[in-house]
């Protein structure tokens, strides 16, 4: 990939373990890194973020080549992977750190995010009111190393086998049929 033409997007859609794993499978994605954004504490730890007192969301920062995969396609995957109608939670993961959020870098990206939300609403996939937050990007803090590639390293861990694994299989079936995945 030509690193001069890469772009980044940062968003949160619940637990970052599954979101990161899925995005790392997509053609055109150079990296998906688990981390934290949207809070008021510098360099927070996982334990601090889990208390809900730092204001951070668990997020994934994706570095991608827009000549291979578009912002709109990434947004389609984002809305496929999580329920944007659940306030401060995804399934049994409850807390503000699991909120649905898109961090935008400028007004043009904000407009594209608003369009993606509207497109997802129009799809009818999710019933209910969308609670996806749009916020200006300020800072991304990478999560601790053991969170990076967590599912790939721990597929039999109970949470991974019960929650992350089935979500990844559904993702692989859908986006594999669309030809959007890297060869395994």
User: What positions carry a catalytic annotation?
Assistant: 15
Task: Tell me the CA distances in angstroms from 155 to 66, 92, 152, one per residue in order.
Answer: 30, 19, 6
Scan for tokens 């609403």, then name that residue. 121
Scan for tokens 């996806």, then name that residue. 132
The answer to whether the beta carbons of residues 42 and 67 sit under 8 Å apart is no
Residue 165 pairs with which residues in a beta bridge?
none
Scan for tokens 């859908």, then name that residue. 174
């Amino acid at each position: 990939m030509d690193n001069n033409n890469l772009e980044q997007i940062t968003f949160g859609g619940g637990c970052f373990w599954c979101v990161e794993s899925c995005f790392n499978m997509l053609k055109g994605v150079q990296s998906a890194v688990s981390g934290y954004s949207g809070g008021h504490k510098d360099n927070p730890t996982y334990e601090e973020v889990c208390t809900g007192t730092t204001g951070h969301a668990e997020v994934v920062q994706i570095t991608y080549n827009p000549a291979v995969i578009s912002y709109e396609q990434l947004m389609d995957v984002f809305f496929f992977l999580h329920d944007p109608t659940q306030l401060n939670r995804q399934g049994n993961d409850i807390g503000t750190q699991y909120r649905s959020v898109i961090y935008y870098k400028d007004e043009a990206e904000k407009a594209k995010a608003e369009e993606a939300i509207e497109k997802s609403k129009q799809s009818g996939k999710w019933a209910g009111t969308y609670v996806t937050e749009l916020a200006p990007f300020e800072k991304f803090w990478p999560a601790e190393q053991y969170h990076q590639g967590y599912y790939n390293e721990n597929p039999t861990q109970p949470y991974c086998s019960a929650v992350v694994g089935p979500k990844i299989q559904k993702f692989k079936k859908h986006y594999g049929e669309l030809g959007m995945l890297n060869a395994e």
